A and B are shown apart, each in its own frame.
Chain A
Amino acid sequence: MKSRRRGLLAATTVTLATTLALAACAPGTGTGDETASPGATDAEVSTDLAALGEVTLTVWDQETRGGQDEQMAQLNAAFEEAYPNISINRNSQSFDDLETTLRGALTGNDAPDVVQANNSRGTMGAFVSAGLLRDLEPYAEAYGWADRFSEDVLAVSRYSPDGVTFGSGSLYGLPQVGEVVGVFYSRSALEPIATEDELRSADWETFTGMLADAADAGLTPVQLGNIEGWPAGHVFGPIQAQHVPAEDIRALATGNEGASWTSEGNMAAAAELIEWSEAGYFNEGPNGTDYDAAWSAFAEGDGVFLIGGSWLAADLEAAMGDDVGFVVPTTADGTAATTGGTGLPFAVTEQSPNADAAAGYIDFITSDEAMEVLAETGNMPVNRTAELAPESGVNADIYAAFGAVSEEGELLPYLDWATPTMGDTLGATLQDLIGGQADPEQAMSTLEEDYSAFVSEG
């Protein structure tokens, strides 16, 4: 027994000694040094892709679902045909997988050339401040991206080179598609409550009145599957847009200084979400329902409305056909304001030895011609949206809504972009509100804590 104990002691000592020895060399120093000199942006950029010689571009995307995968395949093939000297090595993973693997990939020795990096502070912001993504300004100038894209769209891929400011500064990526969150409705379920024209011209107050009517009629007014936490963010976003000035929401969602979660407007928005929950506007137990189960239930006829993003359109149309419509209720003064943005932007890694080819590739897959491919494969192109809108069907509604919101209204960024931890904090807090576990003050001060801790640090 004694000798065993001595062995243990020795082992502990060795471990401790090793730990202390290792403590001398800090983790991450290898990549940290590069922060000081973010890229050789002053270098000449070339847009003559055919003259680049044999190049293999490794591209990591998350375009895995039906139409997304198809557009990517078509555009990659077209690119390789146009530039036979460049071949694409595509690696496609789900959104969640990409979010978790990118950190390792970008800090490794063999980083991909082009990656789809979420606009958020936690992903693109963290990469920018660690000097892992290339500043695309020179290419933006060379290719004239500012003429092609609206400034609002580019803004959410802009960071200051130190990563401190989000929404302005250098451009770090370009998106292919637009996204807008709004109200899907079932024409047949709506019938006993209101006419379609009434809904389509409704402002927020009229819309919430319809929710009350639907509840009174014993229907499920809004389907919500919120076991994952983030889906409620897409319900809260449009509600918040009714109560809080757009500029404040932008500051809160981009994690920049100058706004507060504990403002009167945010309190009112939180109170409205509680009200919805208490008044029975949601299905039974939204916090215990799967996101996918909720929209399936809506597609099968349970529920009048579903508040969600344009990415659901293809699946809903496949299941509901002509029965599904999409609308963005306006605020009292007639502006369309709602959450939305772009698909994940494509960015070029700092490590890539083929930056010219990579930027050329991004230019190619976001070109005006590429927008046609995107529309044909059932995706909502970020540019030329109104022009390429289908004549009928739910996508006609969505294209029109995106156009109206991004051009004349307020397209508000996703709230969980704000800080690396905001996705978690927001998800849990909204579950608390819906589950009746927190009052507006408690909930909003939790969010404020996350936001202000980040802002003061940055």
Chain B
Amino acid sequence: MTSPTTPARRAPSQPRGQRRRHPWYRPWLYLAPALVVYGGFLLFPLVRSAQFSLFAWDGLGASEFVGLAHYADLVADPDLRAAFGHALVLIGFFALVPLVLGLITAAVLRRGRVRGLSLFRTVVFVPQVIAMVVVAVAWRQIYAPDGPLNAVLDAVGLDALTRAWLGDYTWTLPAVGVVGTWVQTGLVTVLLLAGMSRVPNELYEAARLDGANAVREFFAITLPSVRGEVAVALTLTIVAALKTFDLVYVTTSGGPGNSTTVPAYEVFQRAFRTGEVGSAAAIAVTLTALVFAINLVVNRIGGREGHR
């Protein structure tokens, strides 16, 4: 992933020799503010969550130790399994589709030397900047039965396709996914563009001399050289897909039925609404582990040779 910036160890006013006199805890002092914040707001809650997941607790009264029962529920409860299934479907919409679209767009932009590239970059990146809640409210309007999407379908004679997009058992999950695609494509494109702009032009010239067309050029030069960026993009978008909460909360609240519930939504629901704190913590811990596992795989495959 992103390489750490080089440590500033050659401060001009500090000759090397003086370093020895610093007490051992000095580096820790520098790290302390970050460590305290990180430990207090991330590590401690994480450990506490793991602990809570072993108890049956309604958030109010006394708790009861139940061991791994909540984790067993994760496997046994079809609704919870479905929630994780939905999150996997969302990975397709949040990560894979944007990656394909981003690769195509970035490659075309790179080749075409489009005028106003920076303007275009800004425009595709804008969804990233808007708060997800705002995005979700806007898309909820778009998908409304008398909303713009159905109006457009009507206008072009596709009225057979109009439906209540967020109330349809087949189409609601894809509809929510498309919002993710819309949000993530810009990020992926901008990342890949940055990567591609670092590829030396000589490589392309050489390829062209060898008679490669645009498609071969893409697969022989562009794609391999942005492997690192692809790994970064996938990491970010997969994490976004798995932790989706606000989008689902605002657009569908998991409905219709339970057809769009996702793990993060279940965590919120159980922890704050229905008083199943232990179960919520178990889902959260599992989700965290899943995010780690998937990204470990992504970075093993994509990242290794990507670092230049």
A contact set with B: CB distance below 8 Å:
15, 18-19, 22-23, 26-29, 31-33, 35, 99-100, 103, 106-107, 122, 126-127, 129-132, 226-229, 283-290, 293, 297, 420-421, 423-424, 427-429, 431-432, 435, 437-438
- Beyond A285-B164, A421-B274, 13 additional pairs, beta carbon < 8 A: A22-B47, A23-B65, A26-B55, A28-B55, A227-B256, A229-B255, A286-B167, A287-B166, A288-B163, A428-B254, A431-B167, A432-B256, A432-B257
Contacts A287-B167, A288-B145; is A27 near B255 (CB within 8 Å)? no
Closest 9 CB pairs of A and B: A285-B164, A288-B167, A288-B164, A32-B62, A287-B167, A130-B60, A130-B61, A287-B256, A431-B256
Contacts A288-B256, A424-B269; is A32 near B61 (CB within 8 Å)? yes
A150 CB, nearest partner CB in chain B, Å:
30
A251 CB, nearest partner CB in chain B, Å:
21
B263 CB, nearest partner CB in chain A, Å:
15
Q: Which residues of B contact A31 (CB under 8 A)?
A: 60-62
Report the nearest B residue to A432, measured CB to CB.
B257
Contacts A26-B65, A100-B272; is A287 near B255 (CB within 8 Å)? yes
B293 CB, nearest partner CB in chain A, Å:
14
**Cβ A285 vs Cβ B253 within 8 A:** no
Alpha-carbon gap, A197 to B166, bound state (A): 38
Q: Which residues of A contact B63 (CB under 8 A)?
A: 26-29, 32
Give chain B interface residues in 42-82, CB to chain A under 8 Å: 47-48, 50-52, 54-55, 57-65
**Cβ A103 vs Cβ B255 within 8 A:** no
**Cβ A107 vs Cβ B59 within 8 A:** yes
A26 CB, nearest partner CB in chain B, Å:
5
Residue B169 is within 8 A (CB to CB) of chain A in the complex: yes
Residue B144 is within 8 A (CB to CB) of chain A in the complex: yes
Q: Which residues of A contact B64 (CB under 8 A)?
A: 26
**Cβ A126 vs Cβ B163 within 8 A:** no
Q: Which residues of B contact A122 (CB under 8 A)?
A: 273-275
Cross-chain pairs A/B with CB under 8 angstroms, 26 sampled: A23-B51, A26-B55, A26-B62, A26-B64, A28-B59, A29-B62, A32-B63, A126-B60, A227-B166, A227-B253, A227-B255, A285-B163, A286-B167, A287-B255, A288-B164, A288-B166, A288-B168, A289-B167, A293-B144, A420-B275, A421-B276, A427-B253, A428-B255, A428-B257, A435-B257, A437-B169
**Cβ B275 vs Cβ A228 within 8 A:** no
Q: Which residues of B contact A226 (CB under 8 A)?
A: 167
Q: Which residues of A contact B144 (CB under 8 A)?
A: 288-290, 293
Report the nearest A residue to B272, measured CB to CB.
A100
Report the nearest A residue to B269, measured CB to CB.
A424
Q: A interface, by DSSP: helix, strand, loop or mixed?
A: helix
**Cβ B62 vs Cβ A290 within 8 A:** no
**Cβ B253 vs Cβ A228 within 8 A:** yes
Alpha-carbon gap, A99 to B275, bound state (A): 11
Alpha-carbon gap, A18 to B50, bound state (A): 10
Residue B277 is within 8 A (CB to CB) of chain A in the complex: yes
A431 in complex: contacting residue of B163, B257, B269, CB < 8 Å: B257
**Cβ A35 vs Cβ B258 within 8 A:** no
B194 CB, nearest partner CB in chain A, Å:
28
Contacts A22-B48, A284-B164, A428-B258; is A130 near B58 (CB within 8 Å)? yes
**Cβ B145 vs Cβ A27 within 8 A:** no
Alpha-carbon gap, A23 to B63, bound state (A): 12
**Cβ B65 vs Cβ A229 within 8 A:** no
When each residue 254-286 of chain B gets 1 if its CB lies under 8 Å from chain A and 0 otherwise, what string results? 111110000000000100111111000000000
**Cβ B51 vs Cβ A22 within 8 A:** yes
**Cβ A27 vs Cβ B277 within 8 A:** yes
Alpha-carbon gap, A454 to B258, bound state (A): 20
Q: Which residues of A contact B54 (CB under 8 A)?
A: 23
B256 in complex: contacting residue of A26, A28, A435, CB < 8 Å: A435
B116 CB, nearest partner CB in chain A, Å:
38
Q: Which residues of B contact A429 (CB under 8 A)?
A: 257
Residue B237 is within 8 A (CB to CB) of chain A in the complex: no
B256 CB, nearest partner CB in chain A, Å:
4
Q: Which residues of A contact B60 (CB under 8 A)?
A: 28, 31, 103, 106-107, 126-127, 129-130, 132
Q: Which residues of A contact B59 (CB under 8 A)?
A: 28, 103, 107
Q: Which residues of B contact A23 (CB under 8 A)?
A: 51, 54, 65
**Cβ B269 vs Cβ A285 within 8 A:** no
Residue B181 is within 8 A (CB to CB) of chain A in the complex: no
